[in-house]
């Protein structure tokens, strides 16, 4: 796997810790949207120092091929993160599967960027990581994400009951899967 890729309109990169200000700007721009569907943040999440620590961790995990978080940039503005796509829970060999997660700034919704980036990363999982299956977990209230999964050919496989604690309450999530044909 490489740490930088290009699609027709996008650049996808695994970032180093010196990109923490860009990452923090990305999270701050859509704080309410992202927090709606993600676990509660640690108190210092919105600091450069914490983002540097996360980026170092993610980079080291990518070196070991255990997790790949790609930050997404438009080619026309390579200095602003518009989204992120992460392949994690990478289980090669007998399982041959990984999970994909993603988030995109609301400013860039409904322009096909998520479809382009998530679709590209799904193909990376199949072609470069040699995965047999890619899964995604989606909150039942996240209708745009469910539509994205359907658009990319993922099938809803079931309901994960009490999957995680979100804002102090156990929440169900749908699991979607796509098998490499």
Q: Is residue 180 part of a domain?
A: no
Task: Please give the DSSP secondary-structure letter assigned to residue 84.
Answer: E
Instruction: Tokens for 111, please give them.
Output: 């322009």
- Please give the sequence-ordered ranges of beta strands (E in DSSP) within the chain, or none if there are none: 4-6, 10-13, 68-74, 77-91, 97-104, 133-138, 155-166, 169-179
Our measurement of the distance from residue 138's CA atom to the centroid of its chain's CA atoms, rounded to an integer in Å, reads: 12
What value, to the nearest 5°, has the Cα angle with vertex 63 and ends 60 and 66? Answer: 85
Q: Is residue 154 part of a domain?
A: no
pLDDT at position 151 is: 97
Answering whether pTM is above 0.85, one says: yes
pLDDT tens across 18-52, in order?
Answer: 999 999 999 999 999 999 999 889 999 999 999 99
How many structural domains compose the chain? Answer: 1
CATH number of the structural domain spanning residue 78: 3.40.630.30
pLDDT at position 94 is: 87
pLDDT tens across 126-168, in order?
Answer: 999 999 999 999 999 999 999 999 999 999 999 999 999 999 9
More confident residue, 61 or 181: 61
pLDDT at position 51 is: 98
pLDDT at position 122 is: 98
pLDDT at position 1 is: 84
Q: Is residue 162 part of a domain?
A: no
Q: Is residue 181 part of a domain?
A: no
pLDDT at position 105 is: 97
Confidence band (pLDDT; 50, 70, 90) for 62? very high
Q: Is residue 55 part of a domain?
A: yes
Enclosing domain of residue 121:
4-134
Q: Is residue 172 part of a domain?
A: no
Whole-angstrom distance, CA of residue 83 vs CA of residue 72:
5
CA distances from 138 to 104, 142, 178 (A): 14, 7, 14
- Looking at every residue in the chain, the average pLDDT score rounds to 96
Instruction: Tokens for 11, please give them.
Output: 């650049």
Q: Is residue 96 part of a domain?
A: yes
pLDDT at position 93 is: 86
Confidence band (pLDDT; 50, 70, 90) for 79? very high
What value, to the nearest 5°, has the Cα angle with vertex 31 and ends 161 and 69? Answer: 70
């Amino acid at each position: 796997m490489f740490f930088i890729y290009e699609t027709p309109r996008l650049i996808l990169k695994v970032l180093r810790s010196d990109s923490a200000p860009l990452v923090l700007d990305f999270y701050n721009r859509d704080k309410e949207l992202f927090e709606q569907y993600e676990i509660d943040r640690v108190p210092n999440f919105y600091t450069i120092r914490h983002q540097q620590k996360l980026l170092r961790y993610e980079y080291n995990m990518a070196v070991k091929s255990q997790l790949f978080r790609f930050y997404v940039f438009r080619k026309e503005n390579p200095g602003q993160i518009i989204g992120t796509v992460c392949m994690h829970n990478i289980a090669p060999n007998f399982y041959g599967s990984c999970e994909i997660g993603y988030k995109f700034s609301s400013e860039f919704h409904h322009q096909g960027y998520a479809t382009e980036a998530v679709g590209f990363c799904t193909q990376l999982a199949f072609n470069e990581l040699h995965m047999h299956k890619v899964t995604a977990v989606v909150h039942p209230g996240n209708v745009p994400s469910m539509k994205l999964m359907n658009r990319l050919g993922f099938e809803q496989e079931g309901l994960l009951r009490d999957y995680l604690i979100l804002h102090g309450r156990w929440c169900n999530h749908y699991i979607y899967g796509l098998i490499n044909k």
